Each structure stands twice: as C-alpha cells, then as structure tokens.
Amino acid sequence: MIQNKSIHILNGTEMYKRFKETGFLKSEEMIPFNEAMCWGETCKNIFSDEFIEMRSKVHHVTRNQYTDITLKPLEPLFHESVDTIALWFDEDMFCQMNVLTILAWLDQREYKGTIDLHLVDQHYKPVKEYSLEAKGYAALYGQVLIHKTMPEEVGLTPLYKGIELYLNYLKKDSDLMLYIQNHRDVPAEKLVLLMLENFREYGLGDTQYYDMILGSRGNL
C-alpha cells in the first residue's frame, strides 16, 4: 500500500494542459475528468457497464472510444489506494454536475480519504476551497441527474446554484431557450459564439449549444 498518495482531478483536458504548461501543481499527479454530465442521461451505478453504454451514446462515440477518453485517465482512482483527492473545477453548471458525479462515485465506493474541492475562475485561478466528505452525494446524484428533482438541501453553495441551472436550462422558458427563440434570424454558428460569451455561468460548449439551437429550430 502506497502511503499518503494524492491525486488531483481536473475538469477536462484543457485544464490539464494549462496546469502542465504553467507547472501549477509541479510534480503532483493530475488526471482529467473528460465528461459533460450536465448533458444527456445517466444511471445509478457510475462507471458501470450500463453507465458506459449510456454515456457513449450521449457523446456519439463507441464504448472503446469512451473508455479511452474518459475512463483510462481515471485508472489510478480505480486501482490504487488514494489518501487525498483534490478536485479542480469551475463554479459553472457544467463543472458542478461533473463534481457531483465524482463525489457520488466516491460515496458509492465509500471513500474515507480527504477530499479538497478547489474552485477556479475562467482563467484557472483558484478562488474558493472546500474540505468535503464523500457522504450523501450518491443520493443527491440520483435526485438531480437521474430523477431531475431539486433537493431540499445542498451543502455546497456553488453546487446548489449549478443544480438550479441544470434542472431548468432545457425548459422552454429558460434563459438559454428564450435567447435562442429571440435570435431566430441569427445563423446557428454565430449564435453559438454569442451564447458562449453571454452565458458563462452554464459552462456549456459549442457542441451543446449547437444541438440546442438546431433542436429548437426543428432541425434534429
């Protein structure tokens, strides 16, 4: 058993590249979480065969591609004893649903080690920090990401805000959908750029916005 092993989980490859380039965490072990849990359906048992099947369909990739992109970077978590896990994520909806998924998985695994959540701004600079325990997040994950219901209580303020946005962003009267409706004459490619600029709190990428626009315009 390796003593005092720590792993830093980063929200995606872009943050991983930036931290590598700047030497931010120096010799620390870093792994990216390449997912977009705020998009598409999921299931109870995180990283199970059923989960892989569902999420690969969401992302329009094969099971093998999903395994290579999302699961392989996480292998140290699956196969090693880790004492401390540090999460590096933005406060936006996209990141917070990824945070919820990781915390839920750690809860399912009954992880007893230390968890530090570091929130960063859009330039990857740390702005807030929380110390957490992997308790209650599996139930929260089920309520939010599977059953799409608002929990009565959420301990983390950024997560609470992220859940609120997540449960409403695809509704017809959400800020995003109303914006799309009010810009019907704007070409989809240009509208995607406008939404990326104007709705940073959602953290969605161009692919998600493009799908939303086409879906709203009846082109899917």
Q: Which positions of the chain have pLDDT values less than 70?
A: 1-3, 219-220
User: Which pair of tokens denotes residue 200?
Assistant: 């940073």
Q: What per-residue confidence (pLDDT) applies to 50?
A: 98
Q: What per-residue confidence (pLDDT) applies to 219?
A: 56
- How is the chain split into domains, by residue range? 6-150, 169-216
Q: Rounded to an integer, what is the distance from CA 217 to the centroid of its chain?
A: 27
Strand extents, DSSP E, 73-113: 84-90
Nearest to 79 by CA among 104, 47, 55, 56: 47
pTM score, whole prediction = 0.93
Q: What per-residue confidence (pLDDT) applies to 27?
A: 85
185's enclosing H/E stretch is none
Strand extents, DSSP E, 83-217: 84-90, 114-120, 126-132
Alpha helices in 109-205 (DSSP H): 137-141, 157-168, 175-181, 188-198
Q: What per-residue confidence (pLDDT) applies to 220?
A: 44
The rounded distance, in Å, linking the Cα atoms of 220 and 212 is 9
The rounded distance, in Å, linking the Cα atoms of 16 and 125 is 13
Q: What per-residue confidence (pLDDT) applies to 1?
A: 45
The rounded distance, in Å, linking the Cα atoms of 69 and 80 is 20
The single residue listed with the structure tokens 């915390």 is 103
